[in-house]
Amino acid sequence: MKKIISAVLALLLTVSCLLFLGSCQLTDWLFEHSEPEVTTRSPEGSEAVPGTSADHPSTGDEPGVSTSEETTFDISIVTPETGGSGGLAYPDYMTGLSADRDYSKNRPVAIVIDNLSAAVPQSGLSRADILIECMVEGKITRLVMITNKYYANEVWGPVRSTRDYLVSLSRSFGNVLMIGAGFSPTGEKLIKDNSYDYLDGVHDKYALTGFFRDPARYNESGYEHSLMITGQGIKALAGVNDIAVTGSYGKAPFSYSNDRGLMSGAGSGTADYAIVNYSDFQKVQFVYSRSNQSYYRYQFGSRAHVDAENGEQLNFENVLILFAKHDDIPGDDAGRITVETTGSGSGYYVTRGRYVPITWQRAGIDSPFTFATASGGGLTFTPGKTMICVCPDTFATDSSRVSFK
């Protein structure tokens, strides 16, 4: 009997050792701890990226990119996977719709998302209540998704570094929890000078509490396009940093109404297509579906913009095009830009197959936007998701940059 017991104990010890060694190797593989990292400074500023180059497209003629204003294509809407119906019993202040649970106490998060072609399809963008697109250096764009719906293993990413104007734009929607992977020098200054809460996947010593590297993205697209975060990860990393994720946050970002009488105002017109031609690298198109009453997003010319997590093509009930002053930052060796997100400007509001000229105003970096139609009346939004395209003010009178069909 003693020999049998000894043999069993020896076997259990051997299995335990093998499992431990295996888990260590798996952890090293996932987070690249097995070898010392060789760190170089990227043009992102204070974002340390091991062994990477600038956040700049390699060429301007990537597959699928079209710079022609008259791009035409078959509309093939990609629908989401079907799931349980669920009850829609709770009002959702972010969208003006009803939701399957009460999100009114959830602090909204603003996650900075990579939008280079190497990063698509991104994860989690179909769950954005508000999606902001803005230019960064190199004539490319970056995205910020805002939502209050995170509670389980939802995945978002790849996460990239933020800029001061991305923080400012996000703050227009309240005391959001900003999430990114490092920052530009001006972004760092704005965050630290104002003591804004920021979950940082690069500089936070507890980063791996919430962030992780996606092995498939790492292998296919590189280190800088592989940083991800989950809903549980947001809560865990916020917890170790003593940052609140619940409280009183139930203020609607827009005034919602199903009355669309304002869409026939001065300067309005048909918008079955809305086109925003940021650069040779990034041309965005929104194609209206009358059956779904929403705009389906295409980018890099005519590529459907889909969510890697569920295959859903991004679509929005509202498209907001805002013109703001863009300038180069003098002496910045990475070619970074600045965007004026306060003051006033013009733009367009697009919904339900129509567009109307608008004006915007904003008093400070912690102030909300206020919008008005050309006649001076207040702007109300169709209940649903909203896409915000922030463009240089030089686009305001250039039909090759912003147009409707």
pLDDT confidence band for 6 (50 / 70 / 90): low
Residue 200 corresponds to which amino acid?
D
Picking from 55, 131, 135, 162, the residue whose alpha carbon sits closest to that of residue 395 is 135
DSSP one-letter string for 216-258: HHHHHH-GGG-EEEEHHHHHHHHHHTT---BSS----SS-B-S
**Omega of the bond prior to 392 within 30 degrees of 0, cis?**
no
Q: What pLDDT, on a 0 to 100 scale, did the predictor assign at position 31?
A: 32
Per-residue pLDDT, averaged over 175-198, amounts to: 96
Helical axes 164-171 vs 185-193, angle rounded to 10°: 40
pLDDT digits (tens, 9 = 90+) for 197-226: 999 999 999 999 999 999 999 999 999 999
Output the pLDDT for position 321. 98
| Residue 148: inside a domain | yes
**Any domain includes 25:** no
Query: For residue 89, what pLDDT is reported?
Result: 84
At 344 the pLDDT is 97
* Residue, of 20 and 190, whose pLDDT is higher: 190
For residue 49 the two structure tokens come to: 């990226």
The answer to whether 213 touches 201, Cβ cutoff 8 Å, is: no
Domain holding 383: CATH number?
Answer: 3.50.90.10
* Span 106-129, average pLDDT: 97
The answer to whether residue 65 is domain-embedded is: no
Number of domains in the chain: 1
Residue among 336, 341, 390 at smallest CA distance from 44 = 336
**How does pLDDT run across 354-364, given as a tens digit for each residue?**
999 999 999 99
The token pair that represents 107 in the structure block: 């602090």
The residue ranking higher by pLDDT, 190 or 70, is 190
* CB within 8 Å of 182: residues ≥ 6 apart: 44, 45, 46, 47, 48, 161, 162, 200, 201, 202, 203
Residue 239 lies in a domain: yes
Split at pLDDT 50, 70, 90, the class of 266 is confident
Length of the chain: 405
Tell me if 391 is assigned to some domain: yes
Q: With bands split at pLDDT 50, 70 and 90, how would you rate the model's confidence at 7?
A: low
- Kindly report the pTM of this predicted structure: 0.81
* pLDDT, mean of residues 160-185: 97
Mean pLDDT calculated for residue range 68-77: 41
Domain residues for the domain of 208 are 41-51+71-404
In the block, which residue shows the tokens 């006033």?
344
The answer to the question of residue 18 being in a domain is no
* 306, pLDDT greater than 70: yes
Closest to 111 measured CA to CA, from 72, 167, 51? 167
Above pLDDT 90, what percent of the chain?
69
Nearest CA-CA partner of 341 in 196, 197, 187, 188:
187
Q: What is the pLDDT of residue 42?
A: 32
- Tell me, yes or no, whether 222 lies in a domain: yes
Q: Is the pLDDT of residue 26 over 70?
A: no
Least confident stretch, 97-106, 310-319, 324-333: 97-106
* Cβ neighbours, 10 Å, residue 267: 12
H/E run at residue 186: helix 185-193
pLDDT band at 374 (very low <50, low <70, confident <90, very high): confident
Determine, yes or no, domain membership for 163: yes
